[in-house]
Amino acid sequence: MGERTARTAAIEAIARAVAEAGLESERPREGSFLVTLPGTAKLKTLVWLEAGPHSLTLTSFFCRQPDENHAGFYLWLMRKNSDMYGMAFAADETGDVYIRGRLPLEGVTPGEVDRLLGCVLTYSDENFNGALERGFASAIRREWRWRAERGHDMRNLSAFAHLVPGGDAD
């Protein structure tokens, strides 16, 4: 299969997988897809899929650089990489964290795209709170106190109640 034919087939496979999954998506330019994945811990995960001349690149922002515990935060994420399929956590030059993957165009099928999108959602959603606990615990405690003092809703902080002495989300 030639380079152009492989890319065209990959683009068609991505479009089909996204449509079959009923996912919200945009196509800002030829060969690029911005797909929105609904989550639980991380409510929305955006994934860029870009079919280049030789490979499909997948990029998803995970979280900004941590406020604290940098070594523990990044070490925890790097340990997660060994169990991840087709992608890994990676930091940019500022320390912001992404989930990145690359696949040869010949391996891009609707089933594989669906699998990769499922993996991104799983890795993003299942690791989000753990990452926040490790890199943003002080900010979470401050937010908890601020909301508690003002009687604000605590539901979206309930997963972090264990970080706050006497924390109770009710």
**How far apart (Å, rounded) are the C-alpha atoms in residues 165 and 23?**
40
Tell me what pLDDT residue 5 has.
Answer: 87
pLDDT at 143 over 60: yes
* Domain of residue 86, CATH code: 3.30.1460.10
Same domain, 19 and 91: yes
Same domain, 72 and 96: yes
Tell me what pLDDT residue 170 has.
Answer: 46
- DSSP state at residue 143: H
Same domain, 32 and 115: yes
Please give the mean pLDDT across all residues of the chain: 94
Tell me what pLDDT residue 92 has.
Answer: 98
SS3 35: strand
Same domain, 83 and 105: yes
Long-range interactions of 88-95: CB distance < 8 A, separation 24+: 89/62, 89/123, 91/65, 94/65, 95/64, 95/65, 95/66, 95/70
pLDDT tens, position by position, 30-82 = 999 999 999 998 989 999 999 999 999 999 999 999 999 999 999 999 999 99
Same domain, 76 and 120: yes
Same domain, 142 and 83: no
pLDDT-based confidence at residue 2 (cuts at 50, 70, 90): low
Same domain, 25 and 82: yes
Same domain, 57 and 113: yes
Same domain, 78 and 115: yes
Same domain, 7 and 90: yes
pLDDT-based confidence at residue 137 (cuts at 50, 70, 90): very high
Average pLDDT over residues 154-164: 89
Number of domains in the chain: 2
CA 114-120-126 angle, to 5 degrees, is 130
Q: Taking Cα atoms as reference points, which of 163, 134, 161, 1 lies closest to residue 70?
A: 134
Tell me what pLDDT residue 79 has.
Answer: 97
Same domain, 95 and 149: no
Same domain, 24 and 78: yes
Amino acid identity of 10?
Answer: A
Per the structure, the complete domain to which residue 155 belongs is given by 136-170
pLDDT tens, position by position, 144-154 = 999 999 999 98
